[in-house]
Amino acid sequence: KQEVTQIPAALSVPEGENLVLNCSFTDSAIYNLQWFRQDPGKGLTSLLLIQSSQREQTSGRLNASLDKSSGRSTLYIAASQPGDSATYLCAVRGDRGSTLGRLYFGRGTQLTVWP
Amino acid sequence: DTEVTQTPKHLVMGMTNKKSLKCEQHMGHRAMYWYKQKAKKPPELMFVYSYEKLSINESVPSRFSPECPNSSLLNLHLHALQPEDSALYLCASSFVSGANVLTFGAGSRLTVL
């Protein structure tokens, strides 16, 4: 069964710092990997989607990389702002057998950016 | 329209009540999902509908009954729930191909007394 792990579980930084959030997964048979943001008590906002054939995706201050063979992804946040404070979830989508169609989530990294 | 709309945002119900959660999207997505999320935990898949047919049921108790009346709507009927069923219920949709992004709604916060 696919296991997704996110490190660190929590991160507290001053405004302006560049950040790296880590995600690892045990089964490399994935369609894609998606990074989400979740504010307290709210739904999930999709940040970036990386297909299994891609190495990275960028959106504004966010850059996500994928190393499928080693089962790792990183989310890089440049010049962090207090508005970036949220929980960041990594999820992988299975591509075969019993994993097909399923999205497997990590437990998230809770980020706090203070002014 | 690029949104998934869930109603109600909040629901409080007793263990003998019957209620429903609703989800709607108009993005032409033919795959729709129900997830359950407890506090400080990741979302857990409950059901997947593909072309209005149930394709995945993650061994969810029968007190949760999904329904997909058409390609834009997804319901979750609730009956005889337990207090431990209190959670945030998230609906999502996507194109059927596994390569596509899932778009999530804002969720329905359910409290069972």
Determine whether the interchain pair B99/A44 forms a contact, defined as Cβ–Cβ distance below 8 Å: no
The whole-number pLDDT of residue A94 equals 79
Determine whether the interchain pair B43/A105 forms a contact, defined as Cβ–Cβ distance below 8 Å: yes
The whole-number pLDDT of residue B101 equals 82
Tokens matching residue B61: 């108790």
Collect all residues of chain B within an 8 Å Cβ-Cβ radius of residue A92: none
In order along its 113 residues, chain B shows pLDDT tens digits of: 679 999 999 999 998 899 999 999 999 999 999 999 998 899 999 999 989 999 888 889 999 999 999 999 999 999 999 999 999 999 999 987 666 788 999 999 999 99
Q: What are the residue ranges in chain A where pLDDT is below 70?
A: 96-101
The whole-number pLDDT of residue B49 equals 92
The whole-number pLDDT of residue B85 equals 96
User: Distance between CA atoms of A88 and A99, rounded to whole angstroms?
Assistant: 23
Interface test with B, best of A59, A103, A104 (most B CBs within 10 A): A103
Q: Which of B50, B55, B102 lies closest to A103 in CB terms? A: B102
Collect all residues of chain A within an 8 Å Cβ-Cβ radius of residue B101: 32, 34, 46, 49
The whole-number pLDDT of residue B112 equals 95
User: Distance between CA atoms of B74 and B22, rounded to whole angstroms?
Assistant: 6
Q: Are strands B73-79 and B64-70 parallel, antiparallel or unpaired?
A: antiparallel
Mean of the per-residue pLDDT values of chain B: 92
User: Distance between CA atoms of A16 and A53, rounded to whole angstroms?
Assistant: 32
Closest chain B residue to A31 measured between Cα atoms? Answer: B99
Residue B62's contacts (CB-CB under 8 Å, 6 or more residues apart) are none
Residue B85 three-state SS: helix
B90 in contact with chain A, both atoms CB, cutoff 8 A: yes
User: Distance between CA atoms of A78 and A83, rounded to whole angstroms?
Assistant: 13
The whole-number pLDDT of residue B98 equals 64
- First vs last C-alpha separation in chain A: 41
